[in-house]
Amino acid sequence: MSTTAIFLVFDMFPSFSGVAPAARLLACAFAAGTCISFNAHAHGTHTHGHGTARLTVDGPVVEVSIDVPLESYLGYDYPPHGEAQQQVWDAFAARVGNPLNFIEPAAEARCTVTAASTTPDIGKATPAVDISNVVLAVKFHCEQPAALKSFSLHAFRDHPGLKQLRVQMQLNGQRKTVTVRPRFPAITL
């Protein structure tokens, strides 16, 4: 509700017409702040186009978690409207079934996916449900962990709305944070 609309509401009730302009402005600010906070809470907190990731390497075991607003993957963050948006949803649901469509370790390390999931479970979610963020969790086992020198982030390839990932890495006890963008969609260890 805009402040103009709230002022009009005040003007409609004679008992409020004598309220000082400063008090009316304070009431407007409170009402607007309440509307904004309820809306932000209902849809979750995120920045469109920006996601976060955690990457942990512990010997041959690699765990990755990628948290991205649904809008960055689909181009919209509400249930699909029309056939074109339904096709985008269906293509995304098919891609998310294979975590290598989003992140892939260096081939030389010979890593295999041992577990993968999405929250919410996109395979079971109906597109009519309001989803703010999608978290993809993947666990790899690498036969040659010494050869694990990089990861390719294929999520940028199929999702132009994804502009950057802030990646927090924990590599055998050491921490490092990097920002990855479509121009260079890889993490070098």
Burial of 73 (0-12, 13-18, 19+ CB in 10 A): buried
> Which residues, other chains included, contact 183 with Cβ-Cβ below 8 Å and sequence gap of 6+?
none
- Whether the pLDDT of residue 8 is over 60: the answer is no
From CA 7, how far away is CA 157, in angstroms rounded?
Answer: 48
- Provide the pLDDT confidence category of residue 6 given band limits of 50, 70 and 90: very low
First to last CA, the chain: 49
Under 8 Å between Cβ of 130 and 144: no
> pLDDT tens digits, residue range 112-137?
999 999 999 988 888 777 888 999 99
From CA 100, how far away is CA 25, in angstroms rounded?
Answer: 53
Average pLDDT, the chain: 82
> Which pLDDT score, from 0 to 100, does residue 34 have?
43
- Angle between the N-to-C axes of helices 21-43 and 3-12, in degrees from 0 to 180, rounded to the nearest 10: 130
- Provide the pLDDT confidence category of residue 56 given band limits of 50, 70 and 90: very high
Q: What is the DSSP letter of 181?
A: B
- Whether the pLDDT of residue 60 is over 50: the answer is yes
From CA 60, how far away is CA 75, in angstroms rounded?
Answer: 36
Phi/psi of residue 46, each to 5°? -165, 165
Question: Which of 43, 66, 49 is CA-nearest to residue 134?
Answer: 66
Q: What is the DSSP string of 104-163?
A: EE-GGG-EEEEEEEEES-TTT--TTS---EEEEEEEEEES-GGG--EEE-THHHH-TT--
> Which pLDDT score, from 0 to 100, does residue 3 have?
41
> Which pLDDT score, from 0 to 100, does residue 98 have?
96
Instruction: Write out the two tokens for 108.
Output: 């030389």
Beta bridge partners of 50: 164
- Provide the pLDDT confidence category of residue 26 given band limits of 50, 70 and 90: very low
